[in-house]
Amino acid sequence: MKRRMHVCILAAFLIGSFFTIPLCAATEEDLCAKDGIAIKNLTLRSDLWYSRDKGDCTVLRRYQVTRIKPEETLEIFSDLVCKTLYCADPPTYSYYKSLDKDGDCTIRILPEANLTDM
Q: Would you say residue 5 lies in a domain?
A: no
Q: What is the pLDDT of residues 76-90, one digit of tens each?
A: 999 989 999 998 888
Q: Would you say residue 16 lies in a domain?
A: no
Domain count, the chain: 1
Q: Predicted confidence band at 16 (pLDDT cuts at 50, 70, 90)?
A: low
Q: What is the pLDDT of residue 2?
A: 67
How many whole angstroms separate alpha carbon 109 and alpha carbon 69?
A: 17
Q: What is the pLDDT of residues 39-73, one digit of tens each?
A: 999 998 778 999 999 999 999 999 999 999 999 99
SS3 content of the chain, % helix, strand, coil (to 5): 30, 30, 40
Structural domain range at position 65: 37-117
Q: Would you say residue 50 lies in a domain?
A: yes
Q: Would you say residue 92 lies in a domain?
A: yes
Q: What is the pLDDT of residue 15?
A: 73
Q: Would you say residue 18 lies in a domain?
A: no
Q: Is the pTM of this model over 0.75?
A: no
